[in-house]
Amino acid sequence: MEAPYDTSRAQSTATGADTVTPADPDAAAQVRLTVRTPDAMRELGRRLARLLRPGDLVLLTGQLGAGKTTLTRGLGEGLDVRGAVTSPTFVIARVHPPLGAGPALVHVDAYRLSGGLDEMEDLDLDVSLPESVVVVEWGEGRMEELSEDRLHVVIGRAEGADGPSLDEAVAGDDVRRVAVTGVGPRWAGTDLSSLTGLPG
């Protein structure tokens, strides 16, 4: 399997330090984080929420159990939307209306959306996507057409040279490495440093 993050450039991850790295060719902003606990993942979601505006698209990538839904739960808290964010196992998309003046959160699980964007439009969600924040689990490679601007969050378990020692792994180390990359003009020059320094 391809590494979920680019280990060649994540030089300081051995110490767990956060890094704001030089951008990928099409990355307008990028930050790499160490997320040690589910609570810290939720906090990352709450902090991300403060950066998001109506019409924003967030693509979440990471294997089963990586923490995509946990992050989205924090996003829902930060955006102050109605309804608990849960794993959308039996539905493909769930709309969480705003409790206040902010945007709705549309939480999509694209795992079973073989038709990608077309199928998503066929869902006929009773919500205006340009006025919502749309978060798509398993969205990479399927949902890019939704917007030239997107925030791509890649969650990987710590492994290889940067991973936990065997002792730590046996003790149930839960460290995740997360890369947050803004793509497109919307994210050009955006300061993502508020995402660094998560607790834990």
Ligand X SMILES: Nc1ncnc2c1ncn2[C@@H]1O[C@H](COP(=O)(O)OP(=O)(O)OP(=O)(O)O)[C@@H](O)[C@H]1O
Out of ligand X, Mg ion, none, what residue 177 binds, judged by CB under 5 to 8 A for its kind, is none
Q: Are 130 and 149 in contact (CB under 8 A)?
A: no
**DSSP structure class, residue 19:** B
63: contact with Mg ion by CB under 5 A: no
- Is the Cα torsion angle 47, 23, 185, 147 positive or negative in sign? negative
Nearest to 20 by CA among 190, 135, 199: 190
Which residues inside 114-143 make contact with Mg ion, applying CB under 5 A?
137
36 binds, among Mg ion, ligand X, none (CB under 5 to 8 A by kind): ligand X
Q: How far is residue 63's CA from residue 73's CA, in Å, rounded to a whole number?
A: 17
- Least separation in angstroms between residue 63's CB and Mg ion is 11
* 18 closest CA partner among 4, 3, 35: 35
Q: Identify the CA nearest to 87 among candidates 64, 57, 115, 56.
A: 64
3-state secondary structure of 150: strand
Q: Given the rule CB under 5 A, which of 80-88, 118-126, 157-165, 166-174 is the region that contacts Mg ion?
A: 80-88
CB nearer ligand X, residue 159 or residue 174:
174
Single residue of 32, 42, 47, 68 touching Mg ion by CB under 5 A: 68
Using the contact rule CB under 5 A, the part of the chain among 26-34, 45-53, 68-76, 125-133 near Mg ion is 68-76
* Phi, psi for residue 98 in degrees, rounded to 5: -70, 145
69 binds Mg ion (CB under 5 A): yes
Q: Does 13 bind Mg ion (CB under 5 A)?
A: no
How many residues bind Mg ion (CB under 5 A)? The answer is: 4
User: Which residues of this chain interact with ligand X, rule CB under 6 A?
Assistant: 35-38, 41, 62, 64-70, 87, 137, 174, 176
